[in-house]
């Protein structure tokens, strides 16, 4: 369940007629270009939620404590999570209009990882070292996440001191990981190696973890054929604002190989129209990359910016298609890509078919056209050609061309006498 809204005493003193307050909310939604379907949803949130509660309790004047009492009541009744979120959204709208005069954007709370116990404090020393080594924020965040989950596992098993951490409990934890086990193993291994080096804990666990064999299987990446890419692009309805946006995003992935993180964070300043190029710092690697603004990509971007993008002061190229027009998120972009793929009706089977498959597809197409590996590496923004090598595994025809014929072996080879096999 979500955390109940909280207001200070000054805000709690504000009150207004429930009917008037809801009319103010509806007017705000209309003034800010919310769709009629969204406005109707808010009416439903109130009709089946706070309105029924207020009528049953003879309440006509609304203030934030009324909303909190209502939410506590339905929270204790253990209603479904989705239904609770709907009622919470309706209450927050009323509270925002009453207190701030507008409906605020309630973003998901930033996840924090508390290393508050003795073991957690020792884990924090590794995090501090990673920060001193200037590791990338994403890497540090991943270490925090994995170590926090491990810490929670130890607490669940009533382990609160370093001396109680045994080899059995660590291996049991790693065995409980169902996905990305390599990632967890490497980070836990580094933790115990760090503890041993610092003299914090040396009970043989670091050596035991070194004996764990990690899976080295590298699956052939999923990709689309050039014909499938075209079908996906054609499936987008470019007559709508959303379609213009989605088409431009897909072309940035299929023609330039940009990751979703770079697409949603693309700024207007990254596009150099005069010199027909796109320059940006890649979110994942932090590398500067410069790509040609191909004609079809430029035309799609121009069409969206002129005819589909909402009027706003935000500098992000791509925005959400419904009010309030905020910045695009990776989740929104993934949804747009997957919708286009599903609409194209291409055969997916068991292939991974998210936005990243377009990068693999571009690499495959370039390799098929005889583009050299260093050029493909530059286009994809990889730090080395070794990373790009994983992409060329998808070109089966090229790999088959490299195979050597096996010469026919005469039967006499198998029937001959002598040699080490017959001594």
Residue positions annotated with a catalytic role: 259, 284, 356, 359, 382, 391
Contacts for 418 with CB less than 8 Å, ≥ 6 apart = none
- In 3D, which of 53, 47, 54 has the Cα closest to residue 77? 53
What DSSP letter does each residue of 295-326 carry, written as one string? HHHHHHHHHHHHHTSPP-S--BS-B-SSSS--
> What's the half-sphere exposure (Cβ side, CA atoms, 13 Å) at 343?
15
Residue among 104, 91, 82, 9 at smallest CA distance from 52: 91
Measured between alpha carbons, how far is 305 from 278 in angstroms, rounded to an integer? 15
- Residues 6 or more apart whose Cβ sits within 8 Å of residue 240: 308
Q: Which structure tokens are listed for 288?
A: 């500067």
Residue 74: exposure state from Cβ atoms within 10 A (0-12, 13-18, ≥19): middle
Q: What are the Cα distances from residue 336, in Å, to 14, 104, 239?
A: 42, 25, 15
């Amino acid at each position: 369940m979500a955390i109940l809204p909280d207001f200070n005493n000054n805000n709690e003193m504000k009150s207004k007629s429930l009917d008037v307050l809801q009319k103010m909310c509806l007017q705000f939604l209309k003034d800010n270009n919310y769709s009629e379907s969204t406005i109707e949803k808010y009416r439903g949130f109130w009709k089946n939620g706070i309105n029924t509660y207020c009528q049953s309790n003879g309440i006509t004047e609304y203030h934030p404590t009324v909303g909190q009492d209502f939410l506590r009541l339905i929270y204790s009744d253990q209603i479904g999570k989705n239904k609770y979120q709907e009622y919470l959204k309706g209450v927050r709208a009323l509270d925002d209009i009453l207190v701030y005069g507008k409906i605020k954007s309630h973003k998901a709370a930033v996840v924090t990882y508390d290393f508050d116990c003795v073991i957690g404090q020792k884990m924090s020393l590794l995090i501090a070292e990673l920060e001193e080594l200037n590791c990338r924020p994403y890497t540090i965040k991943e270490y925090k996440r994995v170590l926090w989950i491990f810490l929670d596992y130890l607490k669940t098993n009533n382990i609160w001191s370093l001396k109680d951490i045994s080899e059995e409990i660590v291996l049991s934890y790693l065995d409980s990981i169902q996905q990305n086990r390599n990632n967890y193993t490497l980070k836990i291994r580094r933790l115990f190696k760090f503890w041993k080096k610092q003299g914090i804990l040396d009970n043989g666990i670091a050596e035991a973890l070194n004996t764990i064999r990690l899976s080295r299987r590298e699956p052939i990446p999923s990709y689309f054929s050039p014909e499938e890419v075209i079908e996906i692009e054609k499936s987008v309805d470019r007559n709508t604002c959303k379609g213009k946006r989605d088409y431009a995003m897909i072309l940035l992935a299929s023609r330039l190989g940009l990751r979703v993180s770079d697409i949603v964070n693309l700024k207007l300043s990254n596009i150099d129209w005069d010199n027909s190029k796109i320059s940006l710092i890649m979110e994942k690697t932090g590398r500067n990359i410069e790509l040609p603004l191909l004609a079809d990509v430029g035309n799609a971007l121009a069409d969206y910016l002129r005819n589909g993008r909402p009027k706003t002061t935000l500098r992000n190229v791509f925005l959400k298609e419904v009010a309030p027009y905020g910045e695009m998120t990776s989740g929104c972009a993934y949804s747009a890509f997957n919708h286009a793929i599903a609409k194209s009706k291409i055969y997916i089977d068991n292939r991974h078919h998210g936005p990243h498959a377009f990068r693999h597809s571009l690499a495959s197409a370039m390799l098929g056209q005889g583009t050299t590996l260093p050029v493909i590496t530059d286009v994809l923004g990889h730090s080395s050609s070794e990373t790009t090598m994983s992409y060329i595994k998808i070109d089966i025809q090229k790999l088959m061309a490299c195979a050597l014929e096996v010469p026919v072996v005469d039967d006499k080879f198998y029937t001959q006498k002598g040699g080490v096999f017959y001594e």
